[in-house]
Amino acid sequence: MNFANTEAAEVDGATGWQRFALITLPMIRRSISTNLMLTTLQTLSVFALIFVMTNGGPGTDSTTLPLLAYQEAFRFGQLGFGTAIATMLLLVGALFSVAYIRALKPEVD
């Protein structure tokens, strides 16, 4: 990150909040977007660890949506409901991916 812009804004009389909101935040926007996207997709796909360690238990305390889709489809025989849950997860992930791609459009000076 280039601190010359921040120093110039400080000399021009910008407050700390203005420097953060108008200079620092736009400079780190791509990093923030990438981290949010990776965290969101990882959160939506947590299955193996919970399945192996607790199988969604005790009770349903550690059941995630991917695990619920698996349980509904294969344990309870509700293939349609399990598929619907998995499809909704796919759509949510796709929606976040589109938002991520739009957030990272090339900047035009």
Question: What pLDDT score was predicted for residue 33?
Answer: 86
Q: Supply the pLDDT for residue 72.
A: 95
Does the bond joining 58 to the residue before it have cis omega, within 30 degrees of 0? yes
- Examine the pLDDT at 15 and tell me if it is beyond 90: yes
Which of 23-27, 75-79, 94-98, 103-107 is predicted least confidently? 103-107
**pLDDT for 44-95, tens place per residue?**
888 888 899 998 888 888 889 999 999 999 999 999 999 999 999 999 989 9
Domain ranges for the chain:
46-108
Q: Which of 61, 65, 95 is nearest to 81 (CA)?
A: 65
- Surface-to-core class of residue 36, CB atoms within 10 Å of its CB (0-12 exposed, 13-18 middle, 19+ buried): middle
Q: What share of the chain is helix, strand, coil (3-state, %, to 5)?
A: 70, 0, 30
User: How many percent of the chain have pLDDT more than 70?
Assistant: 97
pLDDT of residue 79: 96
